[in-house]
A and B are shown apart, each in its own frame.
Chain A
Amino acid sequence: NAGVTQTPKFRILKIGQSMTLQCTQDMNHNYMYWYRQDPGMGLKLIYYSVGAGITDKGEVPNGYNVSRSTTEDFPLRLELAAPSQTSVYFCASRTDGQGTYEQYFGPGTRLTVT
């Protein structure tokens, strides 16, 4: 029972480099989310998707892009890494059943930009 998986677990980027954070879920959830969590802070929503082909911005989308070509995958792209993007990134998913709001999180990707 994999749930939500994220790769890589850790990454160090140089300023200006690009990378894609991978997220896959095997629960057939329509809703998927990307959050970042800075030390001592809550989670801030970067982007979310309510189904394949549909994405929307969250609270802090600048510097990031997403795509959702399948139900299972929701990759997050950083085009020009900046030190301000040093954070822990969590992907999450949930079912769109009535009255169900529990989000299931992946283990996170720890990103350092230097």
Chain B
Amino acid sequence: RKEVEQDPGPFNVPEGATVAFNCTYSNSASQSFFWYRQDCRKEPKLLMSVYSSGNEDGRFTAQLNRASQYISLLIRDSKLSDSATYLCVSYTGSSGSARQLTFGSGTQLTVLP
């Protein structure tokens, strides 16, 4: 079983739509979680961290449910510029694999005009 699993999509949504991505993680020792965005043929960039209380950054809302080992990302009022692959990432600071991020395979989003 992959340590971080995502629905690969693709998600094709019209401009202005609300879209939600889900992610599950298998390592209960994972301490922190993030969403990274990766544009086609570019490097990943941090979109936002995910906190247990949930957090919002403009049109983006991230939620973490530790009991279910589940992370989500909600994008409201989708823009064409939101088209990208969204990577769910966990951080586990245990010895042996210290200080490493584990990346999901990504969910591809295309926002259509």
Contacting residue for A43 out of B42, B44, B46, CB 8 A: B44
- A90 close to B105 (CB less than 8 A): no
Which of A33, A43, A102 has its CB near the most chain B CB atoms (within 10 A)? A43
Residues of B close to A42: CB separation below 8 A:
4, 87, 103-106
Q: What distance in Å separates the Cβ of A21 from its nearest Cβ neighbour in chain B?
A: 14
Which of B44, B91, B106 has its CB near the most chain A CB atoms (within 10 A)? B44
Residues of A close to B44: CB separation below 8 A:
43, 90, 105
B66 contacts the other chain (CB 8 A) = no
Query: Which B residues lie at the A interface, using CB under 8 A?
Result: 4, 8, 32, 34, 42-46, 49, 87, 91, 98-101, 103-106
23 pairs across A/B with beta carbons < 8 Å?
A31-B99, A33-B100, A35-B103, A40-B8, A41-B105, A42-B4, A42-B104, A43-B103, A45-B100, A50-B98, A50-B99, A58-B100, A101-B32, A101-B91, A101-B101, A102-B34, A102-B46, A103-B46, A103-B101, A105-B43, A105-B44, A106-B43, A108-B42
Query: Which A residues lie at the B interface, using CB under 8 A?
Result: 31, 33, 35, 40-45, 48, 50, 58, 90, 96, 101-103, 105-108
